[in-house]
Structure 1
């Protein structure tokens, strides 16, 4: 195996959290990120059929147990996090329309959103404050996090299901497409 690929592998195993190419380059003595990217691709192919896999979630790389072996390592049953319908709707709106303000969330949902709903999603690590909108009142805007991508098994937001997939799954109650193809009202 290439010495750089071995060094990248070691850095990822030792890291406390997923790392992007720039962080790996810094850990490895300011290596060229394009060379790091090639090493990551080689490692990903190497681990593809093994007990652990190298995956990128939100542009950050980490090792995770192969999905077909996860049940072997699970010692205790995970308690699934039950989200209210309101929290599920807010999370979906944020994922598809980010960055989005609370007023924009309420306009899409058609009802007021409790601050507690946003707090629950931020405590879960799925939403973060992404800044403030440059409009009067400078409202706070929200966006999804890498933890959201990891929890739902997405490499990026572009992996979210499209309208056709949502419709086929029966998740859209009523659909009003506007000119740019975004969903105005959906029962997700």
Structure 2
């Protein structure tokens, strides 16, 4: 089968959706356990949250690449196709998770948004180079643009990590189709 006719869009979307739903569940699990990922965390908690966040993401990228190669491309996949498959998972995940995070902070858990703003204000108060007027302006801009910043930050962050994971996965799952010399028939 020609790789240009089969696109990884469906499997990339499915893997991104599954990972995004997992992230929603993880967000609420951490919330109910009283772990504030925006606050000060011990090294053990940071490692735990990082592992719980990124190992499943790595799994989603690798699964999409392997599935696309084995089930959709008859067992063969170029490095570039493997990379784009994984990168699609990352971009879609970033968008879905970004939308969720905007909803989470602005509608579902406004206390978390208030905590982020309080921490931002505290950081600004400790910054002696800012005057009161500058601080108020900065806080107002942060409040206004926070949803867009979190959406764009999520997309960019997932794209960067996804790029790394996709490069690794493409190297692992790449399997070039052997070149065969066409038989010449004499007439």
Instruction: Report if TM-score (shorter chain) is over 0.5.
Output: no
Q: Could you say which structure has the greater relative contact order, defined with CA pairs below 8 angstroms and 6 or more residues apart?
A: 2
What TM-score does the superposition give when structure 1 sets the normalisation length? 0.27
Q: Per residue, is there more helix in 1 or in 2?
A: 2
Q: Per residue, is there more strand in 1 or in 2?
A: 1
